[in-house]
């Protein structure tokens, strides 16, 4: 079914183009219909493609579709080619299906926005480029998708253009990720000149024979690109601000898909990364630090979306730690489950925000349990999965998978992971308790429409049962997911001490939840966001924002202002005025007095005589 | 001074020439300037005579006559111009004052 | 086909003349129509040329004696690069003529004539392979622009125009010296005084004076492009000139400099170029970063675009002086893409100025709801200028960087980081003009955009996208024709 | 050694014409008649140049050389004289009929001087020509009635040119002392009894010539004279006398090897550099159009000297071409000033000229572009030609200076064009513009067309200059010893 592969990308693209050409004249209802149909087809094709591929002749191999040659100069040759193997299949399913759900949800979320057409143009463009990113077999095409999702995220963060903060957040997001993109680009140059092609297989085959330094540099640069895209330390500052965009955007881009692109890229090139253990260690460390960093910051946020943003950061930290430990399956598995429950959480939060007059401060909410039971249960499901409550949630299994392999690499990583899990359960349930328990501090109006409820329900279910496709040996081993990916990512390594770790990993979240209950259980008075300096620093991204602002942004802009009209120009002006000066000085010879003139003639002659003799 | 050796005469001529040049440079009175120019011309004429004497040729004398003629003509025109300026309203013969043309 | 090449030069000139004369009597729109017809004819001519000439290397040739005693001929040759740039020239020319009706009230005929004369001169520069002729066109193409700037420019035009002219002409004289030096050396060696490019190119290679002679060319082209440190005339000129002139300057005249670097520096003096390449690449990278840095600090929209334009031309320098094929072809792509995107940006800036009455971004803001289509286009071309993949500029930047990477890793790394800085100023510009609360000032209300504008911008968008996703056809064209004698079957001596 | 001497036809015709004009003035004053006669005389001499020589004089001394260089320069001189003649008519100079007649007589005499200088191969003939040029010039400079400026200019000129003539003569004397011959040719100072004196002689002669050419540092009089006198006479000073002098100078140094750095060569190089830089600097800061043109003409002399300094096949051809180009453009500008704005010589008076007199402004721009050396005007090709000669002569340093100084030149020429394009500032009253009389208008048109045509098709003029490559014949028997 090679023919379907391009169609999967073309569907959202076509929708985007149609909406673009309609120039916003299309009524909202028609727009939603079009989007629904387009993304529905996209998801449908995705599923069909997946089924046919897995039942196909070489379901362990890859399906190649070469579209056209991009550049063919001298020895360098790149082409637009799509490839479908089990890895990209997983990603493709996540993007298309969850994308479908989120866009359906968005139809009702953005119902009243006059610019809904523009919104869906961006969204569909995003889905298209994300699909290009995950499906293409050539790194240059990946880069196309990579930058495409970046610019779409910029456009969507700044979607409500009339508020300057949004514009700033959007610019920040793009510029910070652009740093990573530049690193990625340099990596591409390195590989292109070294290998002569940017095809994944070619690169992977050429890597072992290449000089080790070059490979290290390449992986380092790729890691940098991935880190920026996934908002890991030290390039994490953009993600919390990115919450300025509409909530579906946060759900789709900044939770489910775009931020995980880096994980996908590294997993895709794991063979190359295996050659450079140093870089992998660095990757693990980055993940390790980010887990704790983001969890700590999430602990004190007051804005519900920022809580989720930081939790996304720390969950991605888990994935990077897994990648660093070589647990490719674990990373991918967590990616999938995280896509389920984080999208769920965001959409639930979106429904809340929608119904409380775009209020996002959890301390201004409360007692929403009765007001919106459906949303409440959805949020509970998501939180449980995020906190990784044992056995009944998807998050539990994926996290355990990572922790086990982390333990096998270095117990320290495992410890960090456990600590992170502890914090996670605390902050997310802090959010739950404050938001849904206690007396109502705000009035929710309207009711969550069916169009929002259905995606919530589906994702809620997935968030609960989604984990059972990969159950560790200790409790009746199911290995559907890892078996699915093993042709691409290699066999699962043998694990030790599984049971004990599982036990600890199951208890810790429960402790966390109960602790959260003790701290924020509904009392007579409204809970207050505590406001100590330390807390304020934590809340403000551990002061990273301020640091970067002082160290990079301000000096750059200030010096630019200082030199705004270009000192080089001044130099030329100086030259001009000097010439003018000489002209005047020379004009002074013209005193108008004959005697002086005669004197000059005499001087000239005498000088000439001296010159001659 | 033997006629074969013109150097002495050339020396005198040069001295005259320099005197004339200095005269032009130091005197402020127009008439004196013109006179100094005449001195320079005559210095040149003298040099021609000396040179002619050296080569026993008449060319020197020819040039001498021409220079005299030219000097006369120039003096005439110069005086005419001075008078004209006077008529045009320039009261003084001082060449330094009242210059209207300058850079 | 013999006279196709001279026709390419003569047609715009005489068309412009006709437009001027038609302005003396008759309705006000006639000159406009006349020049449009002229451009249409030129388009036909180019289509014919592209269709009937084939192959790599030199595709068409024309030669006739001019000042035979000094060995000066009228000699045109066209290879793929010339063809691409001729097309670009036409593409830039059409909007400048098409959109000028709005902001030229007085003496439109003269305006058309000057524009078309410039275009004719540029065509001559891209075609002529007699050094003297090349130099003539090089100087000639500026003269009409001088008039346009002085008559229709903005407030500070007087000072700026002279600056512009001094820089370009002064550097041109240096090039004249170099050309003469080549001719004289050739005359010494062979006893034949000629300005034939191909003959002189043979001399240029193995002359011990080559580095010195090359400098003359190099400086002239560097000033025209412009690149650091000769760029100072450019922001002022772009800012003060009328929209059409800005579009011409940024779109096509800067490309003449780049073209010269490829044809008269890199090709004629390979060894000397290799010697000076590190310096030039360093300058290019510094230019990329420095001008991107300056662009953030500007308040005038046109100045931002101007600095960004210099910054992007740095990539061309990288490509040309990388000495690699991929770099050179990338430079050509970059020329085309940069011409289109920057021209479009200037059109948008001109439109904004025309509607709001100001170019000062401190007084602009929140224009998105007022002009949604234009904001969308502005977004696109901004994205183009910050090198988004899928748009032509990325192809150029990627290939030039690919070429430069083989020379210097560090320089290429820094140049790639220019992408970050470019995103900073580009998005800042977007934010300051289109985002934020709406503060619409200026006398005219922001009416609906004129259809011609939208059409032009749309065409530019499509072309850039095509270039970005499928650049191969242009790449196949953009290998410069070689100078080896056996390849000069077309470039034989003219009949004396 | 039996040599014959011959008299150029032009000289003959001009002498006779001058006599006729004197008779006319003696009989009775009628400006129109005298003007017509003067014109006829000039035209006749122009015709006569191309005729075969009619008058030979037996004698042992050759006074004039029958070569192409002489007749080319003569033609240039006579043509510019005709142009000046045309632009003077109906001009402030000859407005009052009482004195107008002598004007044309003096013009004819000056032309006579110039023409005879171009052919002179003997000190006597050169000196005669020179003074026949200078003395009438004095009269012309002072010709404006009741103008103190004119008188002052003439006064300065007569004193200084007297000094210069004296230097010239003293130099001749010294040379004669060494060589024993009055051949109009630079001595090669090697094999002389007292080489020092010979060197001094050459240097003095050069200084005298440079004064008449107004090369830095002997240039100071030029600006004042041009400003003081009337516009046509200014054209005469700036164009005609310089052509004559340069032609003579080329002939004088025809036999000196200018590659070797002799005393003469060093001085010429120094003066060339000074003139190029100094002239442009001088013009840069002027606000009076005439003073600006003075500066520019000084600079152009410098350019010419570059060609003069680089002997070779191109040297004479290029300098001949350049002389023509320079004369055409400069005469054009003066004609425009005389026709459009005889009084308005301040540059700011030309504000908005493109709106008030489009054609005149266009012509003016063409002339200025030609002087600035920008295509398509002829000045561009002329500068290119000179640069070619310099490059062939290996004068790279001089050429670099030429380039740098002509960048300065660009500035002030284009500033004038800019001023003509920009509208006048409101606080400054617009000076009224007159419209030139038919002849002057035609003259301007012709000059503009010539500037453009020779710029686009320089081939013809180049081919004409080709046979000038035969360098001006040094006088017969120039070995030095009689």
In tens, the pLDDT along D348-369 reads: 888 888 888 889 999 999 999 9
Q: Is residue D260 part of a domain?
A: yes
Q: Give me D158's structure tokens.
A: 């007569």
Three-class HEC string of chain C: CCCHHHHHHHHHHHHHHHHHHHHHCCCCCHHHHHHHHHHHHHHHHHHHHHHHCCCCCEEEEEEEEEEHHHCEEEEEEEEHHHHHHHHHHHHHHHHHHHHHHCCCCCCHHHHHHHHHHHHHHHHHHHHECEHHHHHHHHHHCHHHHHHHHHHHCCCCHHHHHHHHHHHHHHHHHHHHHHHHHHHHHHHHHHCCCCCEHHHHHHHHHCCCCHHHHHHHHHHHHHHHCCCCCCCCHHHHHHHHCCHHHHHHHHHHHHHHHHHHHHHHHHCCCHHHHHHHHHHHHHHHHHHHHHHHHHHHHCCEHHHHHHHHHHHHHHHHHHHHHHCCHHHHHHHHHHHHHHHHHHHHHHHHHHHHHHHHCCCECCCCCCCCCCCHHHHHHHHHHHHHHCCCCCCHHHHHHHHHHHHHHCCCHHHHHHHHHHHHHHHHHHHHHHHHHHCCCCCCCCCCCCCCCCHHHHHHHHHHHHHHHHHHHCCHHHHHHCCCCCCCHHHHCCCCCCCC
C490 pLDDT band, cuts 50/70/90, is very low
Between CA B20 and CA B25 the distance in angstroms is 9
Using CB atoms, which residue from B6, B37, B44 is nearest to D159? B37
pLDDT, mean of residues A182-186: 93
Output the pLDDT for position D4. Answer: 57
- Which three-class secondary structure state does DSSP give residue D71? helix
Beta carbons of B64 and B49 less than 8 angstroms apart: yes
Would you call D142 and B81 a contact, using CB atoms and an 8 Å cutoff?
Answer: yes
How far apart (Å, rounded) are the C-alpha atoms in residues C183 and C70? 10
Q: How far is the first Cα of chain C from the last one, in angstroms, to the nearest whole number? A: 21
Nearest residue on chain A to D284, alpha-carbon basis: A583
In this predicted model, what pLDDT tens digit does every residue of B85-103 receive, in sequence order?
888 777 788 887 777 777 6
Angle, vertex CA B22, rays to CA B18 and CA B26, nearest 5: 175
C72-79 and C58-67 as β-strands: parallel, antiparallel, unpaired? antiparallel
CA gap A248, C105 in Å, rounded: 51
Quickly count helices (H) and strands (E) in chain A: 28, 4
**Could D158 and B77 be called an inter-chain contact, meaning their C-beta atoms sit closer than 8 Å?**
yes
3-state secondary structure of D54: coil
Assigned token pair, A500 = 């004990």
How far, in Å, CA of C120 to CA of C140, rounded?
A: 9
pLDDT at residue C494 in the model: 38
Query: Rounded to 5 degrees, what are φ and ψ at C479?
Result: -90, 120
**Phi, psi (deg, nearest 5) at residue A138:** -120, 135
Distances (CA, A) of C382 to A173, C385, C432, D227: 16, 5, 13, 57
DSSP-derived secondary structure letter, A208: G
Q: Find out whether D460 and D351 touch, Cβ atoms under 8 Å.
A: no
CB < 8 Å to C161, chain D: 418
Which of A590, A592, A597, A601 should be substituted to probe chain B, the one whose Cβ sees the most B Cβ atoms within 10 Å? A592
If you average pLDDT over residues C25-41, what whole number do you get?
A: 84
**Domain ranges (residues) in chain C:** 269-480
Mean pLDDT, rounded, for C120-125: 94
Token output for D313? 């096949």
Which chain D residues contact residue A608 at CB under 8 A? 203, 206-207, 267, 270
DSSP A243: G
**What pLDDT digit, counting tens, does each position of A249-270 carry?**
888 888 888 899 999 999 999 8
Tell me which chain A residue has its CA closest to the CA of residue D268: A608
Neighbouring-strand partners of residue A69: A79
From chain D, the residues in CB contact with A583 under 8 A are: 281-282, 284-285
Torsion angle (degrees, nearest 10) of CA D431, D437, D440, D442: 120
Are the C-beta atoms of residues A365 and A349 closer than 8 Å to each other?
no
Using the beta-carbon criterion (under 8 Å), do D421 and C147 form an inter-chain contact?
A: yes
The answer to whether C437 contacts A162, with C-beta atoms less than 8 Å apart, is yes
Judge whether residue B18 has pLDDT over 80. Answer: yes
Asked if A579 and D281 come within 8 Å (Cβ–Cβ), the reply is yes
pLDDT at position C442: 47
CB atoms within 10 A of CB C47: 11
Distance from CA of A576 to the nearest CA of B (A): 21
Q: Taking CB atoms and an 8 Å limit, are B102 and A592 in contact across chains?
A: yes
Please give the C-alpha separations between residue A491 and each of A294, A329, A504, D280, in angstroms, as whole numbers. Answer: 31, 9, 26, 84
In this structure, is residue D457 part of a structural domain?
yes
Summarised one tens digit per residue, pLDDT across range C80-92 is: 889 999 999 999 9
Q: Kindly tell me if the per-residue pLDDT of D474 is higher than 60.
A: no
- Predicted confidence at residue D1, as pLDDT, reads 38
Minimum-distance CB partner of D174 among B47, B78, B88:
B47
Q: Within an 8 Å CB–CB cutoff, is residue A277 touching chain D?
A: no
Per the CB < 8 A criterion, the answer to whether A8 and A88 are in contact is no
**Facing residue for A557 by CB, picked from C232, C296, C471:** C296
Residue D346 is given by DSSP the state B
Confidence of residue D482 (pLDDT cuts 50, 70, 90): very low
Query: How many Å separate Cα A540 from the centre of its chain?
Result: 20
The pLDDT value recorded for residue A284 is: 92
pLDDT at residue D469, as a whole number:
52
Q: Do B95 and A592 touch (CB under 8 A)?
A: no
Q: Find the radius of gyration of the CA atoms of chain A.
A: 30
What token pair was written down for A424?
Answer: 């996670």
**Contact assignment for D414 to C162 by CB distance below 8 Å:** yes
Beta pairing, strands A470-471 & A478-479: antiparallel
User: Does the pLDDT at position D411 exceed 80?
Assistant: yes
Q: What is the pLDDT of residue D93?
A: 61
Nearest residue, CB atoms, A599 vs list B25, B96, B100: B25
Decide: C352 and C265 in contact? Cβ < 8 Å.
Answer: no
Look at residue D34 and tell me whether its pLDDT is greater than 90: no
What pLDDT shows up at residue B2? 53
Rounded Cα–Cα distance for residues B25 and B16 (Å): 14
Residue D432 lies in a domain: yes
Q: What digits encode the pLDDT tens for the residues A28-82?
A: 888 888 988 999 999 999 999 888 888 888 777 888 888 888 888 877 888 888 8
Full 3-state SS string of A456-485: HHHHHHHHHHHHHHEECHHHCCEEHHHHHH
Interface test with C, best of D310, D412, D418, D460 (most C CBs within 10 A): D418
What percent of chain D has a predicted confidence (pLDDT) above 90? 50
Q: What angle do CA D190, D191, D194 make, to 5 degrees?
A: 90
Q: Which residue of A has its CA nearest to B30?
A: A594
Q: How far apart are CA D442 and CA A503, in angstroms?
A: 110
Residues C457-484 have pLDDT tens digits of: 999 999 999 999 998 888 888 877 777 6
Alpha helices, DSSP H only, in A362-473? 368-371, 373-387, 394-409, 411-436, 450-465
Instruction: Please give the distance of CA C342 from its chain centroid, rounded to a whole number.
Output: 10
Angle between the A450-465 and A394-409 helix axes, to the nearest 10 degrees?
Answer: 40
Give the tens place of pLDDT for each residue, C222-232.
999 888 889 89
| Inter-residue contact D78 to D9 (CB < 8 Å) | no
Band (D145; pLDDT cuts 50, 70, 90): low
Instruction: Tell me the C-alpha distance between A573 and A559, whole Å.
Output: 21
- A245, A152 in Cβ contact below 8 A? no
| D482 falls within a domain | no
- For Cα atoms A399, A405, A409, give the angle at the middle one, nearest 5 degrees: 135
Closest CA to C474 of C344, C333, C328: C333
Q: How far apart are CA D363 and CA D116, in angstroms?
A: 33
* Chain D residues within an 8 Å CB radius of B90: 148, 151-152
| Residue range(s) defining the domain that contains residue D160 | 4-469
Q: Considering only CB atoms, which chain C residues are within 8 Å of D452? A: none
Give the pairing of strands D55-58 and D4-7.
Answer: antiparallel
> Do you know the residue count of chain A?
613
Instruction: Check residue D265 and give its pLDDT.
Output: 85
* Residue carrying structure tokens 């800085």: C421
Distance from the Cα of A575 to chain D's closest Cα (Å) equals: 12
Share of chain A above pLDDT 90, in %: 25
Q: Is the pLDDT of residue B42 over 90?
A: yes
Determine the residue of chain A that is closest to D212 in CA distance.
A601
A106: region left, alpha or beta (phi > 0 left; psi from -120 to 50 alpha): alpha
* Token representation of residue A466: 């989604």
Asked if A136 and A83 count as a contact pair (C-beta separation under 8 A), the reply is: yes
* pLDDT bucket at A524, cuts 50 / 70 / 90: low
Which residues on adjacent β-strands are paired with residue D34? none
Is residue C236 within 8 A of residue C174, CB to CB? The reply is no
Higher pLDDT pick, A445 / A124: A124
Question: Where do runs of H (alpha helix) occur along D341-437?
Answer: 353-356, 358-372, 378-392, 396-421
At A327 the pLDDT is: 85
Average pLDDT, chain A: 87
Share of residues in chain D with pLDDT > 70 (%): 91
pLDDT tens for A387-427 read 888 878 888 888 888 888 888 888 888 888 889 999 999 98
Least reliable range by pLDDT among A292-301, B93-102, C162-171 = B93-102
Task: Tell me whether residue C409 is exposed, middle or buried, using C-beta atoms within 10 angstroms of its C-beta: 0 to 12, 13 to 18, 19 or more.
Answer: middle
CA of B31 vs chain A CAs: smallest distance (Å) = 13
Best mutation target, C160, C176, C240, to test chain D (most D CBs within 10 A): C176
The shortest C-alpha distance from D309 to chain B (Å) reads 29
pLDDT over 70 (residue D393): yes
pLDDT of residue C495: 35
Domains in chain B, CATH or no CATH each = 7-88 (1.10.287.3510)
Neighboring chain A residues of B14 at a CB cutoff of 8 Å: none
- D256 contacts D186 by C-beta, under 8 angstroms: yes
**pLDDT-based confidence at residue C1 (cuts at 50, 70, 90):** low
Question: Two tokens at D126?
Answer: 């050169």
pLDDT at C492: 42
* % of chain C residues with pLDDT over 90: 39
* Out of A579, A589, A600, closest to residue D408 by CB: A579
Q: What is the pLDDT of residue C487?
A: 44
């Amino acid at each position: 079914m090679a023919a379907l592969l391009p169609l999967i990308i073309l569907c959202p693209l076509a929708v985007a183009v149609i909406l673009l050409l309609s120039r916003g004249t299309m009524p909202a209802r028609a727009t939603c219909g079009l989007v629904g149909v387009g993304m529905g087809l996209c998801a449908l094709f995705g599923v069909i493609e997946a089924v046919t591929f897995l039942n196909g002749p070489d379901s362990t191999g890859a399906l190649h579709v070469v579209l056209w040659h991009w550049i063919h100069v001298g020895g360098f040759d790149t082409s637009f080619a799509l490839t479908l193997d089990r890895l990209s299949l997983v990603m493709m399913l996540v993007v298309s299906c969850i994308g479908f759900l989120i866009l359906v949800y968005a139809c009702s979320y953005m119902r009243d926005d006059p610019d809904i057409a523009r919104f869906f143009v961006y969204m569909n463009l995003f889905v298209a480029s994300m699909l290009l990113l995950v499906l293409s077999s050539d790194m240059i095409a990946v880069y196309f998708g990579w930058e495409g999702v970046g610019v779409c995220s910029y456009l969507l963060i700044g979607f409500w253009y009339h508020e300057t903060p949004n514009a700033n957040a959007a610019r920040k997001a793009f510029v910070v990720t652009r740093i990573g993109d530049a690193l990625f680009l340099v990596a591409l140059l390195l590989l292109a000149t070294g290998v002569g092609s940017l095809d994944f297989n070619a690169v992977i085959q050429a890597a072992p024979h290449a000089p080790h330094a070059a490979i290290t540099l390449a992986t380092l640069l790729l890691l940098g690109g991935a880190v920026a895209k996934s908002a890991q330390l030290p390039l994490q500052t953009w993600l919390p601000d990115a919450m300025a965009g509409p909530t579906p955007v946060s759900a789709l881009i900044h939770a489910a898909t775009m931020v995980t692109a880096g994980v996908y890229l590294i997993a895709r090139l794991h063979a190359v990364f295996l050659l450079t253990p140093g870089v992998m260690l660095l990757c693990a460390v980055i993940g390790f630090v980010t887990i704790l960093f983001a969890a700590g910051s999430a602990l004190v946020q007051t804005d519900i979306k920022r809580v989720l943003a930081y939790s996304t950061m720390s969950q991605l930290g888990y994935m990077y730690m897994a990648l660093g430990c070589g647990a490719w399956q674990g990373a991918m598995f967590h990616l999938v489950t995280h896509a389920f429950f984080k999208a769920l959480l965001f959409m639930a939060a979106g429904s809340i925000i929608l119904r409380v007059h775009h209020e996002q401060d959890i301390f201004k909410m409360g007692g929403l349990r009765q007001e919106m039971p459906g949303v409440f249960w959805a949020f509970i499901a998501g939180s449980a999965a995020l906190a990784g409550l044992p056995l009944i949630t998807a998050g539990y299994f994926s996290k355990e998978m990572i922790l086990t392999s982390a333990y096998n690499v270095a117990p320290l990583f495992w410890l960090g992971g456990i600590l992170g899990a502890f914090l996670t359960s605390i902050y997310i349930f802090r959010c739950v308790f404050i938001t849904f328990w206690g007396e109502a501090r705000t009035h929710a109006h309207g009711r969550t429409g069916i169009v929002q409820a259905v995606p919530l329900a589906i994702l809620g279910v997935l968030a609960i049962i989604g984990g059972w496709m990969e159950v560790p040996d200790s409790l009746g081993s199911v290995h559907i997911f890892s078996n699915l990916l093993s042709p691409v990512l290699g066999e699962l390594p043998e694990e030790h001490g599984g049971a004990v770790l599982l036990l600890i990993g199951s208890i810790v979240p429960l402790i966390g939840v109960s602790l959260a209950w003790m701290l924020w259980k509904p009392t007579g008075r409204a809970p207050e966001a505590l406001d100590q300096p330390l807390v304020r620093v934590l809340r403000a991204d551990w002061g990273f924002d301020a640091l970067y602002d002082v160290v990079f942004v301000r000096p750059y802009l200030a010096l630019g202002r200082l030199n705004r009209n270009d000192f080089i120009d001044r130099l030329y002006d100086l030259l001009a005025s000097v010439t003018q000066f000489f002209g005047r000085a020379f004009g002074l010879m013209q005193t108008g007095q004959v005697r002086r003139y005669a004197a000059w003639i005499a001087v000239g002659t005498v000088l000439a005589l001296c010159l001659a003799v | 001074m033997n006629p074969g050796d013109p150097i002495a005469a050339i020396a005198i001529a040069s001295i005259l020439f320099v005197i004339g040049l200095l005269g032009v440079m130091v005197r402020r009175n127009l008439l004196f300037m013109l006179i100094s120019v005449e001195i320079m011309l005559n210095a040149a004429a003298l040099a021609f005579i000396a040179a002619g004497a050296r080569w026993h040729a008449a060319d020197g004398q020819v040039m001498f006559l021409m220079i005299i003629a030219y000097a006369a003509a120039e003096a005439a025109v110069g005086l005419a111009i001075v008078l004209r300026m006077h008529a045009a309203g320039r009261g003084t013969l001082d060449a330094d004052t009242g210059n209207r043309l300058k850079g | 086909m013999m006279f196709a090449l001279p026709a390419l030069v003569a047609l715009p000139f005489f068309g412009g003349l006709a437009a001027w004369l038609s302005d003396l009597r008759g309705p006000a729109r006639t000159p406009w129509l006349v020049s449009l017809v002229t451009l249409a004819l030129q388009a036909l001519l180019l289509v014919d040329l592209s269709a009937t000439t084939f192959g790599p290397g030199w595709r068409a040739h024309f030669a006739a004696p001019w000042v035979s005693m000094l060995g000066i001929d009228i000699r045109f040759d066209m290879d793929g690069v010339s063809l691409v740039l001729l097309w670009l020239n036409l593409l830039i020319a059409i909007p400048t003529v098409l959109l000028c009706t709005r902001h030229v009230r007085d003496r439109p005929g003269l305006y058309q004539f000057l524009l078309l004369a410039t275009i004719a001169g540029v065509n001559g520069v891209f075609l002529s392979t007699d050094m003297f002729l090349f130099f003539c066109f090089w100087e000639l193409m500026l003269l009409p622009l001088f008039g346009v700037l002085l008559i229709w420019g903005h407030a500070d035009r007087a000072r700026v125009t002279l600056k512009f002219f001094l820089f370009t002409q002064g550097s041109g004289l240096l090039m004249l010296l170099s050309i003469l030096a080549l001719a004289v050396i050739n005359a010494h060696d062979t006893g034949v005084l000629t300005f034939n490019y191909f003959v002189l190119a043979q001399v240029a290679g193995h002359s011990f004076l080559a580095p010195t002679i090359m400098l003359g060319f190099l400086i002239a082209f560097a000033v025209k492009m412009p690149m650091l440190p000769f760029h100072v005339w450019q922001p002022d000129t772009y800012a003060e000139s009328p929209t059409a002139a800005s579009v011409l300057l940024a779109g096509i005249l800067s490309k003449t400099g780049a073209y010269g670097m490829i044809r008269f520096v890199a090709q004629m003096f390979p060894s000397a170029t290799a010697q000076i390449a590190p310096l030039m690449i360093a300058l290019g990278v510094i230019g990329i970063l420095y001008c991107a840095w300056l662009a953030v600090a500007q308040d005038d929209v046109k100045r931002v675009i101007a600095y960004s334009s210099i910054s992007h031309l740095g990539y061309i320098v990288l490509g040309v002086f990388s000495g690699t094929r991929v770099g050179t072809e990338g430079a050509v792509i970059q020329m085309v893409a940069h011409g289109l995107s920057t021209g479009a940006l200037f059109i948008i800036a001109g439109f904004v100025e025309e509607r709001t009455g100001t170019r000062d971004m401190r007084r602009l803001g929140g224009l998105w709801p007022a002009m949604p289509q234009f904001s969308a286009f502005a977004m696109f071309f901004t994205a183009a200028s910050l090198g988004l993949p899928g748009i032509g500029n990325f192809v150029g930047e990627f290939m030039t960087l690919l070429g430069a990477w083989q020379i210097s890793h560090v320089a290429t790394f820094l140049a790639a980081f220019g992408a970050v800085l470019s995103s900073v100023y580009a998005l800042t510009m977007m934010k300051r003009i289109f985002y934020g609360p709406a503060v619409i000032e200026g006398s005219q209300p922001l009416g609906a955009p004129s259809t011609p504008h939208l059409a032009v911008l749309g065409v530019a968008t499509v072309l850039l996208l095509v270039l970005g996703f499928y650049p191969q056809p242009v790449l196949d064209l953009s290998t410069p024709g070689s100078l080896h004698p056996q390849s000069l079957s077309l470039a034989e001596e003219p009949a004396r | 050694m039996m040599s014959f001497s011959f008299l150029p036809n032009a000289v003959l015709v001009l002498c006779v014409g001058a006599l006729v004009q004197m008779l006319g003035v003696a009989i009775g004053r009628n400006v129109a008649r005298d003007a017509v006669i003067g014109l006829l005389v000039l035209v006749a001499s122009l015709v006569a140049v191309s005729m075969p020589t009619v008058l030979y004089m037996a004698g042992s001394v050759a006074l004039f050389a029958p070569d192409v260089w002489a007749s080319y320069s003569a033609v240039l001189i006579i043509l510019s004289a005709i142009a000046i003649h045309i632009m003077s008519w109906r001009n402030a100079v000859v407005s009052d009929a009482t004195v107008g007649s002598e004007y044309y007589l003096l013009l004819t005499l000056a032309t006579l001087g110039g023409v005879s200088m171009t052919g002179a191969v003997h000190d006597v003939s050169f000196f005669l020509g020179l003074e026949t040029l200078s003395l009438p010039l004095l009269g012309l400079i002072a010709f404006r009635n009741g103008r103190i400026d004119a008188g002052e200019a003439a006064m300065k000129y007569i004193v200084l040119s007297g000094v210069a003539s004296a230097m010239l003569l003293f130099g001749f004397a010294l040379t004669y002392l060494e060589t024993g011959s009055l051949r109009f040719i630079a001595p090669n100072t090697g094999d002389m009894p007292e080489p020092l004196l010979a060197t001094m002689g050459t240097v003095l002669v050069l200084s005298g010539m440079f004064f008449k050419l107004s090369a830095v540092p002997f240039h100071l009089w030029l600006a004042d004279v041009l400003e003081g006198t009337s516009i046509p006479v200014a054209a005469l000073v700036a164009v005609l006398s310089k052509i004559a002098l340069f032609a003579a100078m080329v002939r004088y140094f025809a036999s000196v090897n200018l590659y070797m750095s002799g005393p003469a060569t060093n001085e010429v190089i120094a003066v060339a550099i000074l003139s190029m830089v100094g002239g442009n600097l001088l013009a840069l800061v002027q606000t009076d159009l005439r003073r600006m043109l003075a500066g520019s003409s000084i600079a152009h002399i410098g350019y010419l000297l570059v060609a003069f300094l680089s002997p070779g096949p191109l040297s004479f051809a290029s300098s001949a071409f350049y002389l023509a180009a320079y004369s055409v453009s400069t005469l054009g500008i003066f004609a425009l000033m005389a026709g459009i704005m005889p009084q308005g010589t301040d540059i700011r008076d030309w504000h908005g000229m493109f709106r008030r007199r489009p054609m005149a402004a266009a012509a003016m721009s063409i002339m200025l572009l030609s002087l600035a050396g920008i295509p398509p005007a002829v000045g561009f090709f002329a500068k290119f030609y000179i640069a070619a000669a310099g490059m062939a002569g290996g004068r790279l340093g001089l050429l670099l200076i030429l380039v740098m100084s002509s960048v300065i030149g660009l500035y002030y020429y284009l500033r004038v064009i800019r001023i003509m394009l920009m509208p006048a500032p409101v606080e400054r009253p617009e000076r009224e513009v007159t419209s030139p009389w038919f002849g002057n208008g035609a003259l301007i048109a012709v000059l503009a067309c010539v500037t453009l045509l020779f710029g686009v098709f320089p081939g013809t003029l180049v081919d004409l200059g080709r046979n000038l490559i035969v360098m001006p014949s040094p006088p017969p028997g120039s070995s030095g010893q009689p």
